[in-house]
Amino acid sequence: MATELLRLRDVNSYYGESHVLHDINLNVAEGEVVALLGRNGSGKTSTLKTVMGLLEPKSGVIEYAGQVLRDASPEGRSRVGIQLVPEDRRVFAGLTVEENLRLAAMGSRKPLTIAAMYEMFPRLGERRKSHGRYLSGGEQQMLSIARALIQAPRLLMLDEPFEGLAPIIVHTLVEVVGQLAKKGQTILIVEQNLKACLSLAHRVYLLSNGLVVHEGSAQALLHDKDTQRRHLSV
């Protein structure tokens, strides 16, 4: 049985007075790909932000690698091997691709090489001297993922990695994430593209109004049209 890497127990989070996560319980095993699915505003991104330390829970416990996470800061979470690729990418517009990667690598004690990132994303190698502001949306997303990966994370969290991208770019990114999964990378992914997401995930959690309303295998959900209609249809 795989070792449990991440576990949330009765986690409640708020934005001001707004209660956005209600007693969230979920777990991610080492080497597993877990998807968080749900309609807009269901609490998916809030869950990732809570794990990353960008949103502090009012109650509940987050365990990582068998230990309760004490350092609530994003920097502290990053140091223990948690990386979040945010939906808005946040590449440094005034830095080149290579400068973005070098800066990210400084955040890790044992970073991967820039050459390894270019091997994974050949397009970034071609654009290594281009500034972030001149990259296409797909190239920015590749760079955002590469910046996280170069820090050799134990847990990689992806927030809407395929959102708004051309189908050919989505296909490329799905292949890359799939290869990472085959190599044993632990991934927690939020994504609206159900087909792409279920092709990658081992298990899924469905969220609705900040509550976990379903948990099960990705393959089972793929064939469960009723659950899809009730919790995912617009």
Q: Tell me, what CATH number does 205's domain have?
A: 3.40.50.300
Q: Over 70: is that where the pLDDT of 41 sits?
A: yes
**Residue of 203, 159, 233, 148 lying closest to 2 (CA atoms):** 203
The residue ranking higher by pLDDT, 92 or 89, is 92
pLDDT at position 71 over 80: no
Q: What is the pLDDT of residue 234?
A: 55
Average pLDDT over residues 133-137: 96
Q: Is the pLDDT of residue 148 over 70?
A: yes
Mean pLDDT of 82-101: 95
Q: Give pLDDT, residue 72.
A: 75
Token duo for residue 150: 């170069």
90: pLDDT strictly greater than 70: yes
- The per-residue b/e assignment along 52-73, b for 16 or more CB within 10 angstroms, e otherwise, is bbbbebeebebebbeeebeeee
Give the distance from CA 179 to its chain's centroid: 15
Mean pLDDT across the chain: 95
Given pLDDT bands bounded at 50, 70 and 90, which one contains residue 107?
A: confident
The pLDDT, as a whole number, for residue 1 is 59
**pLDDT tens-digit series, residues 162-175:** 999 999 999 999 99
Share of the chain above pLDDT 90, in %: 91
- Mean of pLDDT values over 147-170: 95
Mean of pLDDT values over 200-222:
96
Q: Domain of residue 43: give its range.
A: 4-231
Q: How many domains does the chain have?
A: 1
Query: For residue 217, is pLDDT > 70?
Result: yes
Residue with tokens 């223990």: 80
Q: 4-19 burial string, b = 16+ CB within 10 Å, else e?
A: ebbbbeebbbbeeeee
d(CA 138, CA 158): 15
